[in-house]
């Protein structure tokens, strides 16, 4: 069965035809590590993880490359403002040095990958940091410059967006209607409103600086994704994914500079995930007031319940966040896991034809532009079907390769509940019955029923 994906470039569903027969090159823009990632960001990484898993389910081996932006991302996407990491250092009252900057970036990167692990997001095949690829970026800019797509100004080397004739293709921008000042603060030296910096120089207050043919400075934000994706995936590769906010500026600029350097098509399929929204506003770091995975766990909700919630909406639809919705997702996730536990003990005779039909139905949904809500529906109905317990479990295990919900593992409970169960075991060892009973009641409030049997303590969800 062929995979159909909605390609932002053509604004339509297309049959996925990889460049190579059996492997796929996929690049996804990673985090800017000046703060924690919020659960909106994590929705995008879950979507990209599922995309990769679907490709693998279909038999491709996937080389998944993700960047980590630790330098050069300014507070505005349009090359103005302060470096996001430097702003964070200033606001945190830390002493400004390259070392502090790197430490801070590492802290947020580590936290990001911890959150990914809790959400069962597979680690990309290659994770590449911007600060470790500046020589590659300089080489890449030289290619663009030698093809005469650039001009220098007093702030660095600028990309001439009007010279690249397909500039508006991805975002369907109307360049003639763009006014100076609409995207970039009026810079009299720039020839067009959509021109952007490839290299930024003459910024003595910027902490991280490198020598370059255009003066001492640092790379513009967009260039890292072009230079690093091409380093690891080649001049032309299959898929580029990211959040929908990146279409008009970041991805548009990535395409322009990549194709101007190589002189040929860069990426075949562009996939964009819609936003997680909070009270009808997008959840954003810069606007403040964002929810992290840690906040979710503190509310006694398991990270995989959040993953489950993400799977209930199509990746191209906005998903409204509310604590009530998330609690409902936790309930649904618990009942799904309970239902699977029951299936483990079910008997019944084998029904290979039905099993095959259900597997095909699941495949049809995931290959239909990643229709995960429908695929999840197949899991629920399959559990009610006439298949034997063994067949049900074998399908759940296969499907979970895509869903990544740990469906076969023993019931998943929140990290807090896990800790309480351990505390209770300790209390019992110490014969502290009062504390043990107190913790039992606490667990009951979390929906966990404890049973002390001659073979030890067991628990189940209510």
Does residue 29 interact with ligand AMP by CB under 6 A? yes
Query: In Å, how far from its chain's centre is CA 62?
Result: 16
29 binds Zn ion (CB under 5 A): yes
Residue 38 known to bind ligand: no
Least separation in angstroms between residue 230's CB and ligand AMP is 19
CA distance 267 to 298: 41
Q: What is the DSSP letter of 177?
A: G
Binding flag, residue 242, ligand AMP (CB under 6 A):
yes
Give the count of residues interacting with Zn ion (CB under 5 A). 2
Torsion of CA 166, 169, 170, 173, to 10 degrees: 110
Smallest separation (angstroms) from ligand AMP to the CB of 92: 18
41 binds, among Zn ion, ligand AMP, none (CB under 5 to 8 A by kind): ligand AMP
Cβ of residue 70: shortest distance to Zn ion, in angstroms?
A: 13
Measured in degrees and rounded to the nearest 5, phi and psi for residue 407 equal -70, -25
Please state, in angstroms and rounded to a whole number, the distance separating the CA atoms of residues 58 and 269: 17
CB of 442 to ligand AMP, least distance (A): 33
Residue 32 touching ligand AMP (CB under 6 A): yes
Which span sits near ligand AMP by CB under 6 A: 97-105, 186-194, 241-249, 395-403? 241-249
Residues 210-229 that bind Zn ion (CB under 5 A): 225
Mapped onto helix, strand or coil, the DSSP state of residue 256 is helix
Q: Least CB distance from residue 360 to ligand AMP, whole Å?
A: 31
Q: Which does 225 bind (CB under 5 to 8 A by kind): ligand AMP, Zn ion, none?
A: Zn ion
Distances in Å between the Cα of 52 and the Cα atoms of 160, 238, 239, 317, 320 are 34, 12, 10, 19, 24
Tokens 């279409």 found at:
247
* Binding map of Zn ion across residues 259-298, x = CB under 5 A, - = no contact: ----------------------------------------
Distances (CA, A) of 210 to 67, 206, 257, 365: 19, 11, 21, 49
CB of 303 to ligand AMP, least distance (A): 16
Distance of closest approach, residue 212 Cβ to ligand AMP, in angstroms: 24
| 29 annotated as belonging to a binding site for a ligand | yes
Task: Return the residue nearest ligand AMP (CB atom).
Answer: 243
Three-state secondary-structure class, residue 381: helix
Q: Which is nearer to ligand AMP, 169 or 247 (CB)?
A: 247
Residues 6+ apart with CB under 8 A from 359: 395, 398
Residue 13 tokens read as: 């569903």
Instruction: Give the pairing of strands 196-201 and 156-159.
Output: antiparallel
Task: Determine if 243 is a binding residue for ligand AMP (CB under 6 A).
Answer: yes
CB 382 within 8 A of CB 398: no
243 contact, one of ligand AMP, Zn ion, none, CB 5-8 Å limit per kind: ligand AMP
| Token duo for residue 134 | 């500046």
Dist. CA 144–CA 226, nearest whole Å: 11
CB of 271 to ligand AMP, least distance (A): 11
Which range, of 11-19, 27-35, 188-196, 386-394, touches ligand AMP by CB under 6 A? 27-35
Query: Which residue's CB is nearer to Zn ion, number 225 or number 305?
Result: 225
**Short-list 223, 226, 150, 162, CA closest to 192:** 162
Tell whether residue 41 is a contact of ligand AMP (CB under 6 A).
yes
Question: According to the binding rule CB under 6 A, does residue 8 interact with ligand AMP?
Answer: no
Would you say 101 and 89 are in contact if contact means Cβ atoms under 8 Å apart? yes
Contact residues toward ligand AMP (CB under 6 A) are 29, 31-32, 40-41, 43-44, 242-243, 245-246, 275-276, 282-285
Known binding residues for Zn(2+) are: 29, 225, 250, 254
Known binding-site residue numbers for ATP: 285
């Amino acid at each position: 069965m062929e995979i159909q994906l909605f390609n932002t470039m053509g604004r339509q569903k297309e049959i996925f035809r990889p460049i190579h027969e059996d492997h796929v090159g996929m690049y996804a823009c990673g985090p800017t590590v000046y703060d924690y990632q919020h659960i909106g960001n994590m929705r995008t990484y879950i979507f990209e993880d599922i995309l990769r898993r679907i490709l693998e389910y279909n038999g491709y081996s996937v080389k998944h490359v993700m960047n980590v932006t630790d330098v050069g991302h300014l507070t505005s996407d349009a090359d103005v403002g302060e470096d996001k990491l430097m702003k964070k250092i200033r606001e945190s009252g830390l002493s400004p040095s390259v070392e502090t900057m790197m430490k801070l970036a590492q802290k947020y990167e580590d936290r990001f990958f911890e959150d990914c692990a809790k959400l069962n997001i597979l680690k990309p095949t290659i994770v590449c940091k911007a600060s470790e690829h500046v020589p590659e970026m300089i080489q890449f800019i030289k290619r663009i410059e030698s093809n005469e797509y650039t001009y220098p100004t007093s702030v660095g080397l600028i990309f001439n967006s009007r010279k690249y004739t397909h500039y508006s293709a991805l975002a369907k921008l109307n360049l003639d209607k763009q006014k100076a000042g609409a995207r970039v603060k009026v810079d009299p030296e720039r020839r067009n409103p959509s021109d952007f910096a490839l290299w930024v120089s003459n910024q003595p207050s910027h902490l991280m600086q490198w020598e370059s043919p255009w003066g001492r400075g640092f790379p513009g934000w967009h260039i890292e994704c072009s230079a690093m994706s091409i380093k690891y995936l080649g001049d032309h590769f299959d898929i580029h994914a990211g959040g929908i906010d990146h279409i008009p500026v970041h991805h548009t600029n990535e395409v322009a500079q990549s194709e101007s350097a190589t002189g040929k098509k860069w990426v075949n399929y562009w996939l964009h995930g819609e936003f997680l929204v909070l009270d009808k506003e997008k959840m954003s770091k810069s606007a403040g007031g964002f929810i992290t995975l840690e906040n979710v766990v503190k509310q006694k909700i398991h990270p995989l319940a959040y993953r489950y919630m993400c799977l209930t909406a199509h990746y191209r639809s906005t998903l409204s966040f509310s604590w009530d919705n998330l609690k409902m997702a936790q309930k649904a996730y618990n009942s799904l896991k309970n239902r699977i536990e029951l299936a483990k003990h079910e008997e019944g005779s084998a029904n290979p034809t039905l099993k095959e039909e259900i597997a095909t139905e699941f495949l049809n949904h995931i290959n239909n532009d990643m229709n995960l809500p429908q695929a999840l529906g197949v899991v629920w109905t399959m559990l009610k079907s006439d298949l034997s317990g063994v067949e049900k479990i074998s399908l759940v295990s296969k499907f979970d390769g895509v869903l990544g919900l740990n469906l076969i593992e023993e019931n998943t409970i929140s990290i807090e509940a896990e800790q309480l169960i351990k505390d209770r075991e300790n209390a019992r060892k110490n014969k502290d019955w009062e504390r043990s009973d107190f913790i039992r009641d606490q667990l009951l409030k979390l929906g966990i029923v404890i049973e002390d049997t001659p073979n030890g303590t067991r628990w189940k969800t209510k």
